[in-house]
Amino acid sequence: MINKNLNSTDYETFINVIRKRRSVRRFEKGRSISRQVLERIAEAGRWAPSGANVQPWDFIVVEDPEMRDRVVEVFLRQADRLKKYAKGFPSVYKSYLNNTVAIFIVLGDRRWNINFPHGVTPESEADYQQNNENIFYCSIGAAIQNIQLAVTANGLTSAWLSGGGEQQTNDELSELLGYPPFLRAYGTIPIGFPAKDVSSRYRRPLQQVVHWNRYEAEKFRTDEQVQFYVDSLRPFAMYRNKTELSEWEDFEEKLGEWQEAFTTDRTNPSGKLPKLLPP
């Protein structure tokens, strides 16, 4: 029997790690971690799937306190720029990074994209080109996800920072860490011991996300719903410690007429679907 080793206990352990993985942005002070644990975490990243098995990543594991502090400084500057130039995005102060015990920097190397399918006619080229990008980003995301899960499985916690992918931040990191600037720090994962319990986070209900055998048009999220999220819900949905929005004390006040759309599988009762993206 193929599945003889996979039983419900395995699933429980597995799903618990997945549910426990959290972006925790507060770490305990004065802790340290062994290289052995960091290698176990890197091993999980190594086993991520990738398009054409090209493994287009490298992991820089910064554990030396002096180097770690310099990487943190790069991200403090990145956070300042975010506040200045990406106004309105509900980012948190990055001073918590000072208590990081190690930082994984996941570099992506786009040269490997030549291994993905390429169109050989002018008409097909653009189509394949776009999908090559998708394959690359998904591969990098899989590695980052594996790393974050392994962090959780080792009793630690982490965050997933994307700012290293910004040009200026990547330039500074490449200068500091010595990698060629055409590699890019798509994911940065500061690791620490959790200083607060963030056991949960908003997730859409399962019955809203899953479509059985066809796309269920009543589960389409309307443009207005997307807009409501960005205008009114985002900072709370990103940081509050509850899975269900209905668990919020101010649920009615925050959601107003959007309660049903965010808590049931009827986000689009008319079942009508637009054909095009809004302009």
Ligand X SMILES: Cc1cc2nc3c(=O)[nH]c(=O)nc-3n(C[C@H](O)[C@H](O)[C@H](O)COP(=O)(O)O)c2cc1C
Does position 45 interact with ligand X (CB under 6 A)? The reply is no
Contacting ligand X (CB under 6 A), which of 160, 229, 236, 248?
160
Q: Which one of the spans 56-64, 99-107, 157-165, 189-197 is the region binding ligand X (CB under 6 A)? A: 157-165
Q: Which residues pair with 184 in a beta bridge?
A: 108
Q: Which one of the spans 122-130, 154-162, 166-174, 254-262 is the region binding ligand X (CB under 6 A)? A: 154-162
Entry field: residues in the chain: 279
57 — phi, psi (to 5°)?
Answer: -130, 160
The whole-angstrom separation of Cα 61 and Cα 54 is 21
Among residue numbers 209 through 248, which ones bind ligand X (CB under 6 A)?
238
Helix (H) or strand (E) holding 104: strand 102-108
CB 222 within 8 Å of CB 180: no
**Per rule CB under 6 A, count of chain residues that contact ligand X:** 9
Task: Give the residue from 85, 55, 61 showing the smallest Cα distance to 167.
Answer: 85
Q: Which is nearer to ligand X, 108 or 163 (CB)?
A: 163
Helix (H, G, I), strand (E, B) or coil at 40: helix
Q: Which is nearer to ligand X, 151 or 159 (CB)?
A: 159
User: Within its chain, how far is the Cα of 231 from the centroid?
Assistant: 21
Does position 137 interact with ligand X (CB under 6 A)? The reply is no
Does position 74 interact with ligand X (CB under 6 A)? The reply is no
CB 240 within 8 Å of CB 203: no
Number of H helices, E strands in the chain: 10, 4
Q: Which is nearer to ligand X, 188 or 267 (CB)?
A: 188
Residue 23: CB minimum distance to ligand X, A: 4
Contacting ligand X (CB under 6 A), which of 34, 95, 134, 162?
162
Contacting ligand X (CB under 6 A), which of 20, 23, 77, 98?
23
Per CB under 6 A, residues contacting ligand X are: 22-23, 159-163, 201, 238
